[in-house]
Amino acid sequence: MHLTVIGTGYVGLVTGTCFAEMGNFVTCVDVDARKVERLKQGEIPIYEPGLEPLVLSNYKAGRLQFTTDLAEAMTTSNVYFIAVGTPPGEDGSADLQYVLGVAREIGRHLDRYAVVVDKSTVPVGTADKVRAAVREELERRRVSVPFDVVSNPEFLKEGAAVEDFMRPDRIVVGTDSAPARDLMYSLYADFSRNHDRILFMGVRDAEMTKYAANAMLATKISFMNEVAGLCDRFGVDVEQVRLGIGSDSRIGYSFIYPGCGYGGSCFPKDVKALIHMAEEAAIEPLLLGAVHRRNERQKQVLFEKITARLGNDLSGLTFGLWGLAFKPGTDDMREAPAVVLLHQLIGAGARVRAYDPEAMEVARNELPKAWFDSGALTLAQHQYDALEGSDVLVLVTEWKPFRHPDFGAVKRLLKTPLIFDGRNQYDPKKLKVDGFEYFGIGRKG
């Protein structure tokens, strides 16, 4: 099949590449000319494990192309995946300007039956808006061309995106059109070989499923963070509690890790968008509101622990910070707890030496230039270099190389043997024996 994927970010690039890997001919479109140029030069603009070789081999085989020209891409295909961003607006609602902009552009060039697929995460009712936007442009051109709009939300996880796309838990397709259903089935059958993973449902059901999934995961994290706060106060080790409840098959072990808050481009914005959807419908989002507030609060916890130990004025102190990405396996720093902590530490007069295995380039481009110019923030060459001359180690993202560090070296390099562990990676008892002072999240130090 010939497909067009519009928006070549984390979702679009992975989607396009994985479809190409299955033998389809895919054109990836993006308005960012620099990004398209880099891709044509064989440079992958994002870090995602396993993605680079797949992009390169499919590009070389001629199954994957990159362009800024949607009209041209549309001439060779009749399936258009919209995978552009839906960032939060001022009021928390999903900003649909990019999705609807693409829909209008499709309407300006559509000349035969096509399926328009909403892959971006969009509020319930967006497929109707996409349909209306395409139709409006067709009417303006005084032509009548049949088309269907399908909701096909994406559930991949950054850091495991290729694996998730290739071997999905489920593929959700919302449509009430038989031809669109057949087309989506044949496209996704390749990813659903050993048992049927394709769930067909109504368009609005599919739109809601994506938000409900992310809100559920965010709820589990916020719940556990709240329990961790109680554990802190009552001298309980939350890691024991985690094991104690995770072993209950009704609860399970996943997504109950306490930490310094969830970030990324999805959970925070999707919870906010669902809250906005509820409020628009005059439904009070009691639980979702609490999930969001707990997370905002949780991003303060590490800093509060730091100031409780070291005082409010941190001038003269240098913090070695491990982890900038919002989670391991990605270079994505959108809404990362590390960014909040950097603002807090630097705002309190501290200097920071930070290191992340993959997010250094993103950090250099996206963090305030003034921090680098003033020397408040230095990006270190490697994880131990971040500790050279630092007073304290703060772990923010649990990348594998941070999990089992050489504590002898850590102790030698730090001016004070003091560790704040935002992801409960280390054993407090062992660190105590090794002469460290340790602060985790909801743990007895």
Ligand X SMILES: NC(=O)c1ccc[n+]([C@@H]2O[C@H](COP(=O)([O-])OP(=O)(O)OC[C@H]3O[C@@H](n4cnc5c(N)ncnc54)[C@H](O)[C@@H]3O)[C@@H](O)[C@H]2O)c1
Please report, as ranges, the residues that interact with ligand X according to CB under 6 A. 6-12, 29-32, 35, 83-86, 98, 101-102, 120-121, 154, 156, 158, 265-266
Distance CA 416, CA 438 (A): 11
- Decide: 95 and 87 in contact? Cβ < 8 Å: yes
Show the tokens assigned to 99. 């999705």
Please name the residue that has the structure tokens 């409020």: 279
DSSP letter, residue 387 = G
Distance in Å, CB of 97 to ligand X, minimum: 9
When the beta carbons of 123 and 440 are compared against ligand X, the nearer one is 123
* Minimum separation from the CB atom of position 207 to ligand X (A): 11
Residue 47 or 303 with smaller CB distance to ligand X: 47
Residue nearest to ligand X (CB): 9
DSSP 190: G
Contact present, 231 and 443 (Cβ < 8 Å): yes
Tokens describing residue 54: 């797949």
Q: At its nearest, how many Å lie between ligand X and the CB of residue 170?
A: 13
* The residue to which tokens 């938000």 are assigned: 211
Shorter beta-carbon distance to ligand X: residue 12 or 405: 12
**Residue 266 appears among annotated catalytic residues:** yes
Strands (E), 61-107: 64-67, 79-82
CB of 304 to ligand X, least distance (A): 29
Q: Which is nearer to ligand X, 8 or 397 (CB)?
A: 8
The catalytically annotated residue of 18, 28, 260, 266 is 266
For residue 367, the minimal CB distance to ligand X (Å) is 18
**Helical packing angle, 203-234 and 238-246, nearest 10°:** 140
What type of residue sits at position 290? Answer: A
Rounded-to-integer distance, Cα 17 and Cα 84, Å? 16
Contact 271, 214 (CB under 8 A): yes
CB-wise, 86 or 295, nearer to ligand X? 86
Beta bridge partners of 420: 394, 439
Of 37 and 284, the one with the shorter C-beta distance to ligand X is: 37
| Phi, then psi, of 10 in degrees rounded to 5 | -55, -45
Q: How far is the CB of 101 from ligand X (least distance, A)?
A: 5
| Residue 14: CB atoms within 10 Å | 27
Q: How many residues does the chain have?
A: 445
Closest to 82 (Cα-Cα) out of 167, 136, 163, 147: 147
By C-beta, is 17 or 121 nearer to ligand X?
121
Cα dihedral 384/390/396/397 (nearest 10)? -10
Please state the closest distance from residue 32 (CB atom) to ligand X, in A. Answer: 4
Contacts of residue 17, defined as CB under 8 A and 6 or more positions apart, other chains included, come to 26, 51, 54, 55, 58, 64, 162
Residues with active-site annotation = 266
